[in-house]
């Protein structure tokens, strides 16, 4: 059983460019959350997708947007990249957003470097 | 809003020493509490969890007890090994509007030396 997969592993972009990161959830999971982890920091919640809609959003600007497809996979898009967007982007999947016990399974992340 | 505060690292211990990593939280609701571990070059792995007051989560010799009265969830292990070297994150999960959101602490790096 494949766990959460993310692509690409590493990415280098320049300021002002746009980037798309991809995530496939663990088999059987229907909810995808995205996190940004700056170097030496804990992950910060960006947003969560369920039933192809954004259900919750953290304190991130509109430059950060996402999408969930019918097969539950998800994309994270970041426009007008800034140097401060350099980070490890983590995707986590879980089985439906209801219930307090839902464990989120994390992917290995995409390392984005903005020059 | 929700927040998690954990002790700063790095924490350096000799093999077989006792470990305690302190974690306290602030939440508006009644959250579930977690410890995640991140080994070098890898993603986050759930280490243990607790969902209600006085619950004790345990795994791989690590344990933590949900203390509602002190809003704490300290991670402990009686005898650490070199293989325990990693970054440990305390986290809470609260249901905002019915949807789950996880808030993490800044992480504590543990180095275990032989």
Q: Band of the pLDDT at B72, cuts 50, 70, 90?
A: very high
Q: Is A85 helix (H, G, I), strand (E, B) or coil?
A: helix
What residues contact B80, with CB distance under 8 A and at least 6 apart? B13, B15, B16, B17, B18, B19, B110, B112
Residue B68 has pLDDT above 80, yes or no: yes
Q: Is B84 helix (H, G, I), strand (E, B) or coil?
A: helix
**Predicted pLDDT of residue A48:** 92
Query: Tens of pLDDT along B9-56?
Result: 899 999 999 999 999 999 987 888 999 999 987 889 999 999 889 999
Q: Cα A30 from chain centroid?
A: 14
Residue B8 has pLDDT above 90, yes or no: no
Please give, rounded to a whole number of angstroms, the shortest distance from the CA of B96 to a CA of chain A. Answer: 8
A48: left (phi over 0), alpha (psi -120 to 50) or beta: beta
Q: Cα B94 from chain centroid?
A: 16
Which residues in B have their CB inside 8 Å of a CB on A?
4, 31-32, 36, 42-46, 49, 51, 89, 91, 93, 95-107
**Which CA distances in Å does A107 have to B29, B44, B55, B67, B95?**
28, 7, 28, 30, 22
Say yes or no: A107 contacts chain B, CB-CB below 8 A: yes
Q: From B89, which residue of chain A is nearest by alpha-carbon distance? A: A42
**Predicted pLDDT of residue A99:** 53
**Predicted pLDDT of residue B41:** 79
Cβ of B43 and A33 within 8 Å?
no
Report, as an integer, the average pLDDT of B60-78.
97
Task: List the single residue in B43, B101, B107 with the smallest CB-CB distance to A56.
Answer: B101
Cβ of B100 and A109 within 8 Å?
no
Cβ of B32 and A106 within 8 Å?
no
**Predicted pLDDT of residue B26:** 94
Q: From B93, which residue of chain A is nearest by alpha-carbon distance? A: A100
Chain A residues closer than 8 Å to B104 by CB: 35, 42-44
Radius of gyration of chain A from Cα atoms? 13
pLDDT tens sequence for chain A (115 residues): 679 999 999 999 999 999 999 999 999 899 999 999 999 889 999 999 999 999 889 999 999 999 999 999 999 999 999 999 999 999 999 887 665 456 788 999 999 999 9
Query: Tens of pLDDT along B89-104?
Result: 999 987 655 567 789 9
C-alpha span between A60 and A43 (Å, rounded): 13
């Amino acid at each position: 059983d494949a766990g959460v997969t993310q692509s690409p592993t590493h990415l280098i972009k320049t300021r002002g460019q746009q980037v798309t990161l991809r995530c496939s959830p663990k088999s059987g999971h229907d909810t995808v959350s995205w996190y940004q982890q700056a170097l030496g920091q804990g992950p910060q919640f960006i947003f969560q997708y369920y039933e192809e809609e954004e259900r919750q959003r953290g304190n991130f600007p509109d430059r950060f947007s996402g999408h969930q497809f019918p097969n539950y996979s998800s994309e994270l898009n970041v426009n007008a990249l800034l140097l401060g967007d350099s980070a490890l982007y983590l995707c986590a999947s879980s089985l439906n957003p209801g219930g307090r016990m839902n464990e989120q399974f994390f992917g290995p992340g995409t390392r984005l470097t903005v020059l | 809003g929700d927040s998690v505060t954990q002790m700063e690292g790095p924490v350096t211990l000799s093999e077989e020493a006792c470990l305690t990593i302190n974690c306290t939280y602030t939440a508006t609701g009644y959250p579930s509490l977690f410890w995640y571990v991140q080994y070098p070059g890898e993603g986050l792995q759930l280490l243990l969890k607790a969902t209600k007051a006085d619950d004790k989560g345990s795994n791989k010799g690590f344990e933590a007890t949900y203390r509602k009265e002190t809003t704490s969830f300290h991670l402990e292990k009686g005898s650490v090994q070199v293989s325990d070297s990693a970054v440990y994150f305390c986290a809470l999960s609260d249901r905002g509007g019915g949807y789950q959101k996880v808030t993490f602490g800044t992480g504590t790096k543990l180095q275990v030396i032989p």
